[in-house]
Amino acid sequence: MLDFAKQAEEIHGTANTEMKKVSLEPAEFELVNFTCYAEAFKKLESISKEKMKSSLITSVQPGRKLVMQSVPTCPVALSFKIRCQDCNQMFADISQYQKHVSHDGKHKQMMNQFFGKAEKAHSHDQPGIRRTLGLYTHILESSKKNQTPVGVPLVVTCFSTHVQEHIYVCFACEDCFTESSLKQHFDSRKHLIHTLLYLNPWRLPFAWKYHLGIEVLRSLALEEEKERGPKQMMMKVLDIPYEMFLPIPSTFVEVLKRLELQHTLLKREG
């Protein structure tokens, strides 16, 4: 529906929207009864025909038709970059990020700098448990179904190299969830509305609270993200030392408390 409205807007924008104009002498102006539309139009039409030999009535020509367009899917998913919050550095894809975490001395150095003692207790030299990021997989899969998740840069994936479970911290909803709730969170009305409220509340039309469907909310948020440019196509990841990550915090407040000295890492944008 939104796509059709956009097409209509484009056609209207490029169409010849020239206005019809009738110049009147003061005496002619006096003769027109502007208090009645029908009478005024009749008089103006006769003056126009007499003076300019043209009619005020426009004949409507059928123009370009509105057509159903398929939205390209995969390029959207593939353009998502991974951002290492520990190092303030972007990576083009997941394999580059994984290489960085495992082998880049800078990452280890940054972990030492920001987490101090906690990091030293558990060295990066030991092999990690898992290397996949659930949110990345979710983005790829959802994009194939034309349901690209919105508000991804507002969510920070927190993990520890030696722990199976990841947690996701959503700054739009001020919420924290695990991988099993990933899809549910991104598809929820709450997340879509909070993302729009966070990015640009003016996108929400009058009476949005009860009447807008999930797909409309998602389209509005996607539109906003598209306008904000490629910076929106980014997934933030924070590597946390084992000792600080466990036991895994279960609420947003708990995460903020656990990482009270590392808030800059959670929130930094680049």
Residues at the interface with Zn ion (CB under 5 A) = 84, 86-87, 107, 170, 172-173, 191
**Cβ-based nearer residue to Zn ion, 43 or 151:** 151
**Cβ-based nearer residue to Zn ion, 77 or 173:** 173
DSSP state, residue 159: E
Contact 87, 105 (CB under 8 A): no
Query: In whole angstroms, how close is the CB of 267 to Zn ion at the nearest point?
Result: 15
Pair of tokens at residue 54? 């043209």
3-class state of residue 235 by DSSP: strand
Tokens 């280890």 belong to residue: 108
Query: In whole angstroms, how close is the CB of 10 to Zn ion at the nearest point?
Result: 32
Maximum Cα–Cα distance across the chain: 96
**Cβ-based nearer residue to Zn ion, 7 or 102:** 102
Query: In whole angstroms, how close is the CB of 67 to Zn ion at the nearest point?
Result: 34
Query: In whole angstroms, how close is the CB of 110 to Zn ion at the nearest point?
Result: 6
Please list the residues that pair with 195 across neighbouring strands: none
- C-alpha to C-alpha distance for 236 and 154, rounded to whole angstroms: 8
**Cβ-based nearer residue to Zn ion, 43 or 177:** 177
Q: Which of 185, 156, 183 is nearest to 249 (CA)?
A: 156
Give me the phi and psi of 190, to 5 degrees please. Answer: -60, -50
**Cβ-based nearer residue to Zn ion, 190 or 257:** 190
Tokens 């929820």 belong to residue: 188
**Cβ-based nearer residue to Zn ion, 173 or 182:** 173
Helix axes 214-228 and 2-14, enclosed angle (nearest 10): 50
Query: In whole angstroms, how close is the CB of 86 to Zn ion at the nearest point?
Result: 4
Q: What is the H or E stretch that residue 30 is in? A: helix 26-31
Query: In whole angstroms, how close is the CB of 269 to Zn ion at the nearest point?
Result: 16
